[in-house]
Amino acid sequence: MARIPTAAVAASGLIGGYGVARWTKKRPLGGAVLAVAGAAAARQWQQAAGGGAAGALTAGYVAAFAGSHPLAKKVGAWPAVFGVAGVMALASWAVADRKG
């Protein structure tokens, strides 16, 4: 079975978490999607790039989620989510996926 790139997993977690929360009107459900994707990405980051890189990328993932909230007040919710997901995908690719 082919491994899904961590860039796609991380970006999908941010986008999917927001989408699920918005469409179901159940924020905890969106948070669960965000957390499951984040945990899956963290495990892959650990395997691909080591513990230090995994810790930094996990912190970036959490910061992207948190940062999307104030950014949304300036540019709108979906643009903010897509923006932070893109930044997280790029960071994930550069640190973990590019090597493999």
Separation between Cα atoms, residue 80 and residue 100, nearest integer Å:
29
Nearest to 93 by CA among 4, 1, 6: 6
Separation between Cα atoms, residue 86 and residue 88, nearest integer Å:
5
Confidence at residue 3, expressed as pLDDT on a 0 to 100 scale:
84
Confidence at residue 2, expressed as pLDDT on a 0 to 100 scale:
57
Structural Rg of the chain based on CA atoms = 13
Separation between Cα atoms, residue 5 and residue 19, nearest integer Å:
21
pTM for this predicted structure: 0.94
Confidence at residue 100, expressed as pLDDT on a 0 to 100 scale:
62
Kindly state the DSSP code that residue 100 receives in the 8-state scheme. Answer: -
Confidence at residue 99, expressed as pLDDT on a 0 to 100 scale:
76
Per-10-residue mean pLDDT of the chain, 100 residues long, equals 86 98 98 98 95 97 97 98 98 90
Confidence at residue 62, expressed as pLDDT on a 0 to 100 scale:
97
